[in-house]
Amino acid sequence: MDDLVLMPRREWLRPAAIVTAVVAVVVAVAWQFVEPAPPGKVVIATGAASGAYHAVAREYAGLFEAAGFELLVRETAGSVENYALLTTPDSGVEVAIVQGGTAPEELVRSEELTALASLYLEPLWVFYRGEPGLGRLARLAGRRIAVGAEGSGSRALALALLKAGGATGESSGTTLVELGGDEAAAALREGSVDAALFVMAPTAPLLTELLATPGLQLMSFEQAQAHARRLRFLSPVTLYRGSMDLVRDLPHRDVQLVAPAAVLVARKKVHPAVVELLTEAALKAHREGDLLSEPGTFPSTTLTALPVNEQARYYLEHGPSFLRRVLPFWLAALVNRFVVLVVPLFMVLVPLLRLTPPLYRWSMRSRIYRWYAQLREIDERVLGTTEPEQARKDLHLIELLEHEIAGVKVPLSYMDEFYSLRLHLAYIRGRLEQSLASQEDATRASVA
């Protein structure tokens, strides 16, 4: 680096300009790969305002607010509508909570969406009017059944299971009623429907109310394992006696249920910061387990038909990054963006700095070679027959070269080439002056 230290400011500008140009190109290219700043607000589609999805999203919104972002919770009819919103570019919805098993096949194949995690199990609850002991869906044939509202995941699952269980069909006489949630429960209590199917987390207050309602029974699936084998997004689960209300002993017996998972899904190009915040929120909200799952079971990368987001998978398996553990979220996101830009720049800049002295040497030698090229032209004319007028022009050119060279400061390591050039200039000057003197003597002799 001695050459760089001794480099005169004026001579340093040329290689520095080359380095600066290369750095500018690297920055311009790297900038294309830097993620934009995280969005200030994110919209998540859930379900009915009284449902578990909405409550979970509101809990997530608290973490977003603590991190300096806004999570807007949008009420919808359910999973089917949520998928429609996610695949509509101008809907504004980037994230949604959906029911497992409701993803359209074309969406699974297109990979437009990605799963961040499955969150918890939410069983299918079949309440009916009558005596206890009903254990198969086929025995609901011929009755009026509330299957859920249009656009809901409950309706999609209810229709699939009723069909598979033999409760529907042209000859079944079954009447399907598009009611869900509180409306379906009210219809069941007043007797306008004979049965109602709900997909809900066991903590939903509506379920406890229905369990305590005289004349209503909760079906225990005799074929829970078979249903789970036929529909792989379902899991057989046991709701133990008294687990929902110990004082009132609800339910009054162990109940076998089948349960899809609630799944957090997002558009494929959702911002990485949003993925990280949502995954962190899911961990805080669901890792302690519930009535149907042991602690640490959820959030999980299983029980989803959609491909799992790799960043979310890494977070679930390894936890937050070092920066996220020691810095506030907004600052960690800023540092990550800065690293994406600086690392490639640093990897290019260090070799360029090492290349600067060779660039300077090349710059100096190219100038010396240019001076020698001019000197050689003069030397070739001296070897031939040079007219006095041309000799005077060449002497004047030599003087200009000497003046230019005298104004150049070079590092000590180049002094040998520098003084060699000056000696050669002096040598050619001497030959020119000798040639010019001889010609002038010859001219005076001829005149005399």
Q: In terms of domains, do 41 and 12 share one?
A: no
Residue 357 CB neighbours (<10 A): 18
The pLDDT of residue 223: 93
Residue 246 lies in a domain: yes
* Whether residue 59 is found in the same domain as residue 146: no
> Domain containing 90 — which CATH number?
3.40.190.10
Residue 333 covered by a domain: no
Range 305-326 burial, b when 16+ CB lie within 10 A, else e? bbebbebbbebbeeeeeeebee
Could you identify the residue written with the tokens 């000497």?
402
Contact 274, 42 (CB under 8 A): yes
Q: Does any domain span residue 28?
A: no
Domain that holds residue 228: 123-259
Paired residues of 267 in beta bridges: 113
Tokens read off for 266: 């997002």
Q: What ranges in 111-178 are assigned the alpha helix state H?
A: 153-165
Both 142 and 107 in a single domain? no
Same domain, 181 and 293: no
Asked if residue 282 is part of any domain, the answer here is yes
Q: Which of 250, 249, 275 is nearest to 264 (CA)?
A: 275
For residues 133 and 236, membership in a common domain is answered with yes
At 149 the three-state DSSP class reads coil
Q: Are residues 268 and 244 part of one domain?
A: no
Total structural domains within the chain: 3
Contact by Cβ (8 Å): 138, 166: yes
Residue 59's closest CA among 156, 172, 203?
203
**Distances 118 to 109, 152, 163, 356 between C-alpha atoms, Å:** 19, 18, 26, 55
Burial 150-188 (b: 16+ CB within 10 A, else e): ebbbbbbbbbbbbebbebbeeebebebbebbbeebbebb
Q: Is residue 228 one of the residues assigned to a domain?
A: yes
Domain boundary among 320, 336, 363: 320
Phi and psi angles of residue 256, each rounded to the nearest 5 degrees, phi first:
-90, 125
Same domain for 267 and 255: no
Q: Is the peptide bond before 299 cis (omega within 30 degrees of 0)?
A: yes
Q: Is residue 81 part of a domain?
A: yes
What is the 3-class SS of 414-446, one letter each residue? HHHHHHHHHHHHHHHHHHHHHHHHHHHHHHHHH
User: Which residue(s) pair with 300 in the sheet?
Assistant: 118
Kindly state the helix (H) or strand (E) to which residue 176 belongs, with its residue range: strand 175-177
Q: Are residues 198 and 210 in the same domain?
A: yes
Q: Give me the pLDDT at residue 329, please.
A: 62
**239 and 130 in a common domain:** yes
Neighbour count for residue 41 (Cβ, 10 Å): 12
- C-alpha–C-alpha distance, residues 416 and 414, integer Å: 6
Could you tell me if 238 and 175 lie in one domain?
A: yes
Residue 329 lies in a domain: no
Q: Residue 3: its pLDDT value, please?
A: 45
Residues 96 and 162 in one domain: no
This prediction's pTM = 0.68
In the sheet with 41-45, reading across from the earlier edge strand, the strands are 70-74, 41-45, 93-99, 261-267, 113-121
Does one domain contain both 78 and 145?
Answer: no
Residue 95: other Cβ atoms inside 10 A = 23
The per-residue pLDDT for 6 is 40
Mean pLDDT by 10 residues, the chain (448 residues): 44 62 68 66 91 92 89 92 93 95 87 94 95 91 93 89 89 91 94 95 90 94 93 93 93 95 94 90 93 93 92 87 64 62 67 67 74 81 73 83 75 72 82 78 69
Residue 188 in contact with residue 129, Cβ under 8 Å? yes
Peptide bond into 251 cis (omega under 30): yes
Question: Which of 238, 259, 280 represents a domain boundary (last residue)?
Answer: 259
Task: Report if residue 102 sits inside a domain.
Answer: yes
